[in-house]
Structures are given as structure tokens and as C-alpha cells.
């Protein structure tokens, strides 16, 4: 396994650590950030999530720089993103920090595109992440980070940044899903 794929795998391995720290009600106290308060374990979970999310950029950078782009990486990278984002969104619903209906829309798209990729793989094709799909992932990451941080870093803005970011994530997620299916409808049509 090459270095970029190992970095991608590290993102997957951080998920259970992130989830335990996020969801187990540790009594680590409250931290003041700017003009707001956040439970310390949510703050730590947010940092772990952000670090894990940054590995998405790092693995891609090294894959291109070292000319180590592989079919495994093309498959594993978006899967790792989906696992991390799915875990975070489910955790946010569990903590009542995000509405379930929005998360169901987002996750439905994620599973549908993964299904499309599996159909393609069965036919020997690989669907790499598109630029729109990458933008979708980063908007989701920003929304998740803002929600995990209880919107605290943005309280001085007098607007619900986390809510706006979540709405943006829903809209771009649905649109990018439609885009994947339109650009790859030939895969479904030729599949038996």
C-alpha cells in the first residue's frame, strides 16, 4: 500500500476515536471560545474531525506529487470521506445539533453515489471524485466543523453560520448527486 493510501486509511482509523470522544458524555468541563462556550469533549472531537478531514487534502496532494494515483486510491478516498462525514452527521443528529431530515438527504445521496461506483466497479470502471463532489465534501466538512463547535467561533457574526453552512451542504450535495448520475448514466444503462 502506497503512502497516499495509508494516509487515507488513517482517516478511517480516526473515525471510532472521533465518535467515542463526541458521543460519550465525558465530564471534561466547558471551554470558552471567543464569546461562547462548548463542552471540552465536543471541542476535542471537532479538532479530531478537522485533522481527519485534512488528510483528504494531504493524501491527494501526495498521490499527485509522487505520481501514486491508483484505482485503490480512487475508490478508497471517497469511501473514507463518506465514512467520516456519515459518522459525523449521525453524531450531530444524536446530539440534536442537526435536523435528521437534512442529514437523511445528504446520506441518501452518499449511498446512491457509492452504489453507482459499485456498479461501475463491477463493470471494470472507476468513477473518480469530480470537482463538484470535492467541493461538496469540503462544504460538508465546514458545516460539520461549525456544528461540532456549536457555532461558537461565529457568534460575533450575528448570523447562524453553522445553519447556513448546513443548508449549503444539503443543496450542493443534492446537486452534485444529480450531476454524478447524469454524467454516468451510461454505466447504469450498460449494466446487466
Q: What is the pLDDT of residues 127-153, one digit of tens each?
A: 777 888 889 989 999 999 999 998 776
Cβ atoms < 10 Å from Cβ of 104: 12
Mean pLDDT, all residues of the chain: 89
Domain holding 144: CATH number? Answer: 1.20.120.1760
Ranges of H-type helices in 66-98:
71-94
Distance CA 129, CA 138 (A): 12
pTM higher than the cut 0.75? yes
Domain count, the chain: 1
pLDDT (tens digit, 9 = 90+) per residue, 39-84?
999 999 999 999 999 998 899 888 888 888 887 887 788 789 889 9
The residue written with cell numbers 449521525 in the block is: 90
More confident residue, 187 or 152: 187
Domain that holds residue 175: 3-190
Q: Sign of torsion, CA 181 170 144 99?
A: negative
Distance CA 11, CA 25 (A): 23
Instruction: Say what the pLDDT of residue 155 is.
Output: 59
pLDDT band at 187 (very low <50, low <70, confident <90, very high): confident
* Percent residues over pLDDT 70 in the chain: 95
Cell of 59: 493524501
For the chain, give the longest Cα–Cα distance.
58
Amino acid at each position: 500500500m502506497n503512502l497516499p493510501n495509508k494516509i487515507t486509511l488513517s482517516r478511517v482509523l480516526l473515525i471510532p476515536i472521533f465518535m467515542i470522544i463526541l458521543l460519550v458524555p465525558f465530564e471534561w468541563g466547558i471551554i470558552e471560545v471567543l464569546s461562547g462556550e462548548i463542552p471540552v469533549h465536543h471541542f476535542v472531537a471537532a479538532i479530531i474531525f478537522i485533522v481527519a478531514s485534512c488528510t483528504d487534502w494531504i493524501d491527494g496532494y501526495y498521490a499527485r506529487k509522487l505520481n501514486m494515483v491508483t484505482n485503490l486510491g480512487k475508490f478508497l478516498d471517497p469511501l473514507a470521506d463518506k465514512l467520516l462525514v456519515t459518522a459525523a452527521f449521525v453524531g450531530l443528529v444524536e446530539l440534536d445539533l442537526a435536523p435528521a431530515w437534512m442529514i437523511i438527504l445528504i446520506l441518501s445521496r452518499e449511498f446512491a453515489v457509492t452504489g453507482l461506483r459499485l456498479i461501475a466497479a463491477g463493470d471494470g470502471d472507476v468513477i473518480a471524485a469530480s470537482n463538484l463532489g470535492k467541493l461538496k465534501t469540503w462544504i460538508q466538512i465546514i458545516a460539520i466543523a461549525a456544528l461540532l463547535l456549536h457555532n461558537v467561533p461565529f457568534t460575533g457574526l450575528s448570523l447562524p453560520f453553522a445553519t447556513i453552512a448546513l443548508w449549503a451542504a444539503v443543496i450542493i450535495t443534492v446537486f452534485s448527486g444529480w450531476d454524478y448520475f447524469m454524467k454516468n448514466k451510461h454505466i447504469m444503462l450498460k449494466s446487466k
